[in-house]
Structure 1
Amino acid sequence: MELPHAQAAVLRAASAEDATPIDELAAETDLPPETVTGAAFELEERGLVVVLSREEESTTLTEEGDEYADRGLPEVRLYEAARGLDADPVPMGEAIGRAGLEGPEVDIALSNYARKGYGKIDSGTVTTDPDAVPDTDSEAMALDAITAGEAAPSDEVLDRLERRGLIERSERTERTVTLSDDGVTALMEGVESRETVGQLTPELLASGEWRDVEFGAYNVEADAERVDGGRLHVLRETGERVKDVLVGMGFEEMDGPHADADFWINDCLFMPQDHPARTHWDRFALEEPSEIDDLPEGLVSRVERAHREGVGPDGDGYHSPWDEGFARALALRGHTTSLTTRYLSGTEIGEIDPPARFFSVEKAYRNDTLDATHLLEFFQIEGWVMADSLSVRDLMGTFEEFYAQFGITDIEFKPHYNPYTEPSFELFGTHPTTGELIEIGNSGLFREEMLEPLGVECDVMAWGLALERLAMLTTGAEDIRDLHGTLADLDFLRNAEVSY
């Protein structure tokens, strides 16, 4: 029997008694493993060998996982450090320093601390649960087991470690080759090898030798390395879709600074300066520069008067401290409504005449406790409509039209309090996987105390909607951290689709 060189070599190296792995055949024949695999499949088609395949999964620690296996998980170290201090709760900074957490480890520790039941993180303090047992932390025990080469932990734990980037899991197809009865007979009768060409080269074409050589068969079933191409991030895809929908509804887009004066972020919204949300625990203040240089003097005085005295015959103001220095302080915007106040005041693009509709899809920053629906930075869908005689019915109808574009028709509304809108209400949507109601936005009609200092003489209805939570409703993601951040689920991002 005459066979191509690679097939003849594999047939001679194979055994009728023992199943020989592809790697061993490659070493014995001095051929690449992929060549041996192709030759084995071709021999199997001739009935000369039997090829058996078995999937094997291996788990290895990443560099970060190896470090945590040695030093301990950040959340465990934070718990142990907080438990080692006398007070409870303890200042967050003191616990972080004692735990030796630096850089990204801080966010990782804070995001996993409450999830694992070690305690609570609130308003800059860390509370510990005395019943927590860090020695039985399933993720820490799994890292130790992988390091020691012991039995693999459960798939659920491995999935969490993989999402955290602490392990790498790979699947490998192990193939073995065994001679069949026909293969043994062929060897006994004698096998001759002939040279074949696996690739057409420029030299073969130039010399004309291609006419006389024998080309090897191309095996389309041979293994190939998986390549994941780039794609538009689902959050970006959702944001672009939101922009398309709002532009189609007649809105114009706003833009403005991420770092802005507290004046534009809060004071213009009739937010009192002693409001808890304006403390240093809830905002990211700038150290350099620390305050804005220019503010419209007339507007500053009108906003201060609204805070101190109120607006209109029934206005009473807050009777609380108001300091222009605090208003000038720079911070990362806690909401994109700072763009709205800039535009409504006329300082951004000039005076705007009603009717008008504006929106933005931009980032906001808050010192929130990380959980399944909160991140330190997030995208907010800001929007407002200026017109005469607006009502809550107009606002609710706008939301129903907007969310219907994404296939969401079960929006629920709940009355709410905001310092800058009256009436106000929150929006809720039903998660497609869990069936739970999740808050997706806040809205209302701007109060006179906000509009009068800005020089606006008609009604303005406005809202701030969460882009990430809209993405959760359209993709089925159950945790906002699966979408972006250090714990993002890459497999989910590669396969998720925005439905609308």
Structure 2
Amino acid sequence: MRLPDSQLAVLDAANTTDEPTVDRLADETGLKSASVTGAAFDLRDEGLVSVEETTDTDAELTDEAHEYLDDGLPEIRLYRAAIDAGADDEPVSMGQLIGASGLGGPQVDIALSNFARKGYGVIDSGDVTADPDADPDVDPEQAALESLAAGDSVDDTDLLDQLERRELIVQSERTVRTIQPTDEGTAALEAGIEVAETVDALTPEMLTSGEWEDVEFTEYNVEADAPRVEGGRKHILRQTSDRVKDVLVGMGFKEMDGPHADADFWINDCLFMPQDHPARTHWDRFALDVPGIQDLPDQLVDRVESAHRNGVGDDGEGYHSPWSRDFAEAVALRGHTTSLSMRYLSGFAGADIDPPQRYFSVEKVYRNDTLDPTHLLEFFQIEGWVMAEDLSVRDLMGTFEEFYKQFGITDIQFKPHYNPYTEPSFELFGTHPTTGELVEIGNSGMFRPEVLEPLGIECDVMAWGLALERLLMLMYGFEDIRDVHGTLCDLELLRETEVVY
């Protein structure tokens, strides 16, 4: 019998190796794992080996888990602080224990949510009672993290799933192939196998010299398993953004652009947002420690300040609240792309603002929100406005119905809402295709006179801010936007999702 050198090496190693997996045979033969796999399938087709496949689950620790390896899980740190403070005898205030434990930021919520779940004690009305019989030294989750860090396996699948829900590990499956010689393969080895001098690639040198006429080429097995190669592709969120732009351009809109970091004047003051509004504090906005933008148009600033202080028109009422030019000049990351609308409607961006006009943008915005399945600290907003005479809410609703129809969404619902800068105002909702729940997808309304008059606009302007990620959820059925956006996104989900265009 004659076999190619690689097949003979794999067959011989499989016959003498205790655990003849592909990785082990690659080490024994010096071949690449892909070459071992290809040779094994060729040998299997000849009846010389059997190939058994099993699936193993690997668990990789996240950065957060590595922190807990040194300091302990937050709930364990809280429990130890509670014991030291005597909470096993009488309740101790939560604030005292949090300070003593050294916990801060999101670790506080993590500790509180897992403290009672694990039976470490009870939290009631801000007081903590510790169970003296609890033993954090045998905490199964901490022990599992330490085992995984040491390179040992953890067989408890429920425990692994719990650690994955806590985002302490990332589980992945891999196929393990074991190659065992058959009786026929063993007999062939004993009888002796001659190495076949075969060539697996035709080279220019062979063609030039004519050597190709005398060599024996390796037969290709087109059914053999091969490594999967994933090419790069545009992110589905970016593809959806491009689709949105195409739709709006097709509806007669022109695109806006502008700075991500801008003066609070353009982000909020022009929108008739009072400077003492909660949304303009550090709780909701990302302020930048840089010099303010002082080249604001003075006359426009004066008109906007007057609208804030005194209102607009004979019956207008301002906010009668503090207003500071220094605050207006302060720089922050934009919390909405309406800052672009203000720049364009004021003429400061150099755009043509003679009615009628339609403008849009699909740009990133930044908000100090709490992360959850529908909220991120940064996301994309579909901004748009239409300037014309005698516009109404009916025109605005019709625009949305036409826009969303282009994406197969026809069940848009509207709910009245309050905005400082639009009146009337309403929110938009769509039905999630998987859960059936109503998902908020945007906010809209007609700009108030307090917004338009300082800008010198004498006709109606209807405007909106829609969430691109929420549109993505309605189109593809995603339930957690973190699956497609951010450091924890599901790459397989992104690769397998068919792009609708």
**One-letter amino acid of the counterpart of residue 53, structure 2:** R
Contact 1:7/1:43 (CA < 8 Å) preserved in 2? yes
Task: Name the residue aligned to 1:123.
Answer: none
Q: How many Å separate the matches in 2 of 1:369 and 1:82?
A: 27
Give, in angstroms, the shift of residue 62 of structure 1.
Answer: 5.0
Task: Name the residue aligned to 2:69.
Answer: 70
| Per-residue deviation, residues 388-415 of structure 1 (Å, max 9, x unmatched) | 1111111111001111111111111111
Residues 37 and 305 of structure 1, relative CA distance in 2, 3 Å threshold: closer
Asked if 1:179 is matched to 2:182, the reply is yes
Task: Name the residue aligned to 2:275.
Answer: 273
Task: Name the residue aligned to 2:473.
Answer: 472
SS at match of 1:451: helix
Residues 129 and 327 of structure 1, relative CA distance in 2, 3 Å threshold: farther
Q: How many Å separate the matches in 1 of 2:215 and 2:444?
A: 76
Provide the identity percentage. 59
Contact 1:14/1:179 (CA < 8 Å) preserved in 2? no
TM-score normalised by length of structure 1: 0.82
- Gaps spanning 5+ residues in structure 2: where? 86-91, 117-124
Greater relative contact order: 1 or 2 (C-alpha under 8 angstroms, separation 6 or more)?
1
Task: Name the residue aligned to 2:451.
Answer: 450
SS at match of 2:217: coil
Q: How many Å separate the matches in 2 of 1:197 and 1:19?
A: 30
Higher mean Cα deviation, 3-12 or 233-242? 3-12
Q: How many Å separate the matches in 1 of 2:449 and 2:436?
A: 38
Residues 218 and 61 of structure 1, relative CA distance in 2, 3 Å threshold: same
Task: Name the residue aligned to 1:122.
Answer: none
**One-letter amino acid of the counterpart of residue 450, structure 2:** E
| Per-residue deviation, residues 161-203 of structure 1 (Å, max 9, x unmatched) | 49958446351332222223x5566567665444222333344
Q: How many Å separate the matches in 2 of 1:338 and 1:138?
A: 51
Task: Name the residue aligned to 2:146.
Answer: 144
Q: How many Å separate the matches in 2 of 1:189 and 1:221?
A: 29
Give, in angstroms, the shift of residue 260 of structure 1.
Answer: 1.4
1:306-385, aligned counterparts within 5 Å? 306-350=307-351, 352-385=353-386
Give, in angstroms, the shift of residue 157 of structure 1.
Answer: 4.7
Higher mean Cα deviation, 393-402 or 478-487? 478-487
Q: How many Å separate the matches in 2 of 1:336 and 1:184?
A: 72
| Per-residue deviation, residues 15-54 of structure 1 (Å, max 9, x unmatched) | 59x995556666777766655544443343333x241322
Residues 435 and 142 of structure 1, relative CA distance in 2, 3 Å threshold: farther
**One-letter amino acid of the counterpart of residue 296, structure 1:** P
Give, in angstroms, the shift of residue 152 of structure 1.
Answer: 3.4
Contact 1:74/1:109 (CA < 8 Å) preserved in 2? no
SS at match of 1:409: coil
Give, in angstroms, the shift of residue 64 of structure 1.
Answer: 2.8
Contact 2:42/2:224 (CA < 8 Å) preserved in 1? no
Task: Name the residue aligned to 2:253.
Answer: 251
Asked if 1:46 is matched to 2:50, the reply is no
- Gaps spanning 5+ residues in structure 1: where? 120-126
Higher mean Cα deviation, 341-350 or 140-149? 140-149
| Per-residue deviation, residues 471-494 of structure 1 (Å, max 9, x unmatched) | 111122211222222222222222
Give, in angstroms, the shift of residue 130 of structure 1.
Answer: 5.5
Task: Name the residue aligned to 2:120.
Answer: none
Q: How many Å separate the matches in 1 of 2:491 and 2:228?
A: 15
**One-letter amino acid of the counterpart of residue 426, structure 1:** E
**One-letter amino acid of the counterpart of residue 458, structure 1:** C
Contact 2:248/2:403 (CA < 8 Å) preserved in 1? yes
Give, in angstroms, the shift of residue 237 of structure 1.
Answer: 0.9
Asked if 1:232 is matched to 2:231, the reply is no
Give, in angstroms, the shift of residue 128 of structure 1.
Answer: 8.0
Contact 2:14/2:179 (CA < 8 Å) preserved in 1? no
Give, in angstroms, the shift of residue 67 of structure 1.
Answer: 2.1
| Per-residue deviation, residues 125-155 of structure 1 (Å, max 9, x unmatched) | xx98969999699875653342352433437
Contact 2:307/2:318 (CA < 8 Å) preserved in 1? yes
**One-letter amino acid of the counterpart of residue 319, structure 2:** Y
Task: Name the residue aligned to 1:124.
Answer: none
Q: How many Å separate the matches in 2 of 1:428 and 1:31?
A: 57
User: Aligned pairs, how many?
Assistant: 480
Task: Name the residue aligned to 2:399.
Answer: 398
Residues 431 and 33 of structure 1, relative CA distance in 2, 3 Å threshold: closer
Give, in angstroms, the shift of residue 305 of structure 1.
Answer: 1.5
Contact 1:19/1:177 (CA < 8 Å) preserved in 2? no
Residues 70 and 277 of structure 1, relative CA distance in 2, 3 Å threshold: same
Contact 1:309/1:319 (CA < 8 Å) preserved in 2? yes
Task: Name the residue aligned to 2:121.
Answer: none
SS at match of 2:58: strand
1:105-144, aligned counterparts within 5 Å? 113=110, 142-144=144-146
SS at match of 1:53: strand
Give, in angstroms, the shift of residue 218 of structure 1.
Answer: 1.8
**One-letter amino acid of the counterpart of residue 218, structure 2:** G
**One-letter amino acid of the counterpart of residue 64, structure 1:** D
**One-letter amino acid of the counterpart of residue 205, structure 1:** L
Task: Name the residue aligned to 1:154.
Answer: 157
TM-score normalised by length of structure 2: 0.82
Q: How many Å separate the matches in 2 of 1:131 and 1:115?
A: 12
Give, in angstroms, the shift of residue 274 of structure 1.
Answer: 1.5
**One-letter amino acid of the counterpart of residue 177, structure 1:** Q
Q: How many Å separate the matches in 1 of 2:139 and 2:353?
A: 58
Task: Name the residue aligned to 1:423.
Answer: 424
SS at match of 1:360: strand
Contact 1:139/1:161 (CA < 8 Å) preserved in 2? no
Residues 205 and 459 of structure 1, relative CA distance in 2, 3 Å threshold: same
Q: How many Å separate the matches in 1 of 2:14 and 2:49?
A: 10
2:198 is aligned, of 196, 199, 212, to 196
Asked if 1:221 is matched to 2:209, the reply is no
Residues 269 and 395 of structure 1, relative CA distance in 2, 3 Å threshold: same
Q: How many Å separate the matches in 2 of 1:411 and 1:486?
A: 31
